[in-house]
Structure 1
Amino acid sequence: MTLNCIAVDDEPLALGLVCAFIEKTPFLHLTGRYASAVEALHGLSQQQADIIFLDIQMPDLTGIELARVLDSNSGQRPPRIIFTTAFNHFALEGYKVDALDYLLKPFNYEEFLRAATKAKAYYDLVQRANPVQVPAVVAEPEDDYLFLKVEYQLVRVAFDDILYIEGLKDYVKVHLQHDPKPLLSLTSLKSLEEKLPTRRFMRVHRSFIVALEKIDAITRNSIQIGQITIPVSDQYKDTFTQFLSRWT
């Protein structure tokens, strides 16, 4: 699989180095080079890219701002981003915009190749998980698993292994049956809820989704899964009451 790439950097030497590294790598194809994020945004409106090697500190529009603009474009899947910067304090911001990797200048080809290989592994995984493009709206997923973004990798999580999912402010905790340590992912509970089959999972609270098969006991206001008691909020009481009616 060959990945189409663009490079964006306002420093000519840095831009030239990244482009040379891309052209040196067999599974990468350079489709554009831009001296500013504004130019890159215009270029991306004309052609799609899989990977953007993106500087952060640039005039007019920073790399972080460009990443947010691309992520907000719901019309198409945004390209994945590998940041290239001389400032390590942007690492957290890079994580928040779901960057695939973070190269700290000056970096050599070995470091570049490591990040590029991670990008290839990501797209190989996506291609295996979704060999055929399907419509945005489907009746019900046939898969028995989902891929969850954990740190800088996609982790395959079987539906059978999920006990319940807890929503935090900017993260979710996925509590598993066979691992005492929950998986932490930078996503919203609503986004995750849309990926789960409704016949197996139910939202019972603003902060909780439960696996129906893992419920050990129920009352009119709570659910017991193992030693954990999960409240049922008024907002989801009607759905929960319908579920209860099957057993009463």
Structure 2
Amino acid sequence: MILSCIAVDDEPLALKMMASYIEQTPALKLVSTFSNGIAALKAINESPVDLLFLDIRMNDLSGIELAKLLEPYKADGNLRIIFTTAYDQYALEGYKVEALDYLLKPFSYDDFLKAVNKAVKYYELIRKTGVDEVEKPVEIPSAEKSYIYVKVEYQLVRIATEEITYLESDKDYIKIYIENQPKPIVSLMSMKAIEEKLPKDKFMRIHRSFIVSLDKIKAATKGTIEVAGKTIPVTDQYREQFAAFFKSWQ
């Protein structure tokens, strides 16, 4: 698999090094390099590429701003971004705009190659499973969607829905609790996004911060449920929906 790519950096030496790294990597094809985000945006609009190596701090248009303007391409699954910067405080901001990876300057070719390998694995997974968007559930040819895919530390992780006990929102993150695993899987995404991934007949939101697997509920009252050793209250917003489920238990 060969990925077409563009490099953008307003520092000439950094851009030259990036171009050199790309050209010596068999999995990559360098389409062009740009010293500013506006020129890169125009080029991508005219001829989209697979991968964008993008500096964050640039004078005319920052890497974060450019990434936001490229949302339509990212949403189609046809473009992924690897940020490059000398400032580690931008890591979370880069993650929030769907960055595939983050290279902190100065980085070695080995570090660069690890990021490229993530990109190759990402596109292999996309083409194998038919996922056309990171935030979409994978369409599996069966009566029920058995798996979901979520991003964990710049990777797509497959999770069997039947192994999920409950999910908890923690600010910008979702904690996914799995049977027989002491620690949850943590992903940077919204509660709404994860709720859309889950089979509606198997999971129910009972609280602003909790979604539970109906098959994993051990005990319930009209106002609480117990799952995986945790008691979770059913809040007023979700009480009516839960009441119908609770009635089926009686």
Describe the shift of the 1:75–1:110 C-alpha distance in structure 2 as closer, same or farther (beyond 3 A). closer
1:46-61 to 2 correspondences below 5 Å: 46-61=46-61
Amino acid at match of 2:198: L
Q: Could you say which residue in structure 2 is the equivalent of 1:63?
A: 63
Spell out the pairing of 1:14-29 with structure 2 (5 A cutoff): 14-29=14-29
TM-fit CA distance, 1:57: 1.3
Between 1:4-13 and 1:104-113, the stretch displaced more is 104-113
Aligned to 1:118: 118
Structure 1 residue 31 corresponds to structure 2 residue 31: yes
1:129 and 2:123 matched: no
- 2:77–2:132 CA contact under 8 A, matched in 1: no
Aligned residue type for 2:239: K
Partner of 1:148 in structure 2? 150
Assess, with a 3 A threshold, how the Cα gap between structure 1 residues 77 and 153 changes in structure 2: closer, same or farther. Answer: closer
- Cα deviation 1:67-102 (Å, max 9, x = unaligned): 233237786336221112223332332233332222
Distance 2:56 2:178 in 1: 37
- Which of the numbers 237, 240, 245 marks the counterpart of 2:247? 245
- Any residues of structure 2 matched to 1:209-220 within 5 Å, and which? 209-220=211-222
Distance 1:33 1:141 in 2: 47
- Aligned equivalents of 1:128, 1:141: Cα separation in 2: 20
Per-residue CA deviations over 1:38-89 (Å, capped at 9, x if unaligned) read 2222222222222110011101211122223323778633622111222333
How far apart in 2 are the matches of 1:4 and 1:141? 37
1:173 — aligned with what?
175
C-alpha distance after superposition, 1:189-211 (max 9, x if no partner): 11000011111111111111100
Give the whole-Å Cα distance in 2 for the aligned partners of 1:164 and 1:80.
Answer: 30
**Aligned counterparts of 1:8 and 1:23: Cα–Cα separation in 2:** 15
Instruction: Choose 147-156 or 174-183, whichever is displaced more.
Output: 147-156
**Alpha-carbon deviations, 1:165-186, whole Å to 9, x = none?**
0112111111111101111111
Which residue among 151, 162, 165 is the counterpart of 1:163? Answer: 165
Residues 198/217 of structure 1: CA separation in 2 closer, same or farther (3 Å cut):
same
5+ residue gaps, structure 2, are: none
| Equivalent position SS for 1:193 | helix
Aligned to 2:206: 204
Contact 2:202 2:215 in 1 (8 A): yes
2: CA distance, partners of 1:231 / 1:103: 42
* 1:221 matched to 2:223: yes
Alignment partner, residue 95 of structure 2: 95
| Count of residue correspondences | 246
Residue 7 of structure 2 aligns to a residue in which SS? strand
Distance 2:195 2:8 in 1: 35
**Is the CA contact (8 Å cut-off) linking 2:126 and 2:132 kept in structure 1?**
no
User: Unmatched 5+ residue regions in structure 1?
Assistant: none
CA–CA separation in structure 2 for the residues paired with 1:228 and 1:4? 48
Q: TM-score scaled by structure 1?
A: 0.88
1:173–1:185 contact (8 Å) kept in structure 2: yes
* CA shift in 2, pair 1:233/1:116, >3 Å: same
Alpha-carbon distance in structure 1 between the residues aligned to 2:203 and 2:105: 45
My pick for the range that moved more, 105-114 or 170-179, is: 105-114
Give the fraction of aligned pairs with identical amino acids, expressed as a percent.
50
| AA matched with 1:210 | V
CA RMSD of aligned residues (A): 2.6
1:124–1:73 Cα change, 3 Å = closer
In 2, Cα distance between equivalents of 1:75 and 1:149: 14
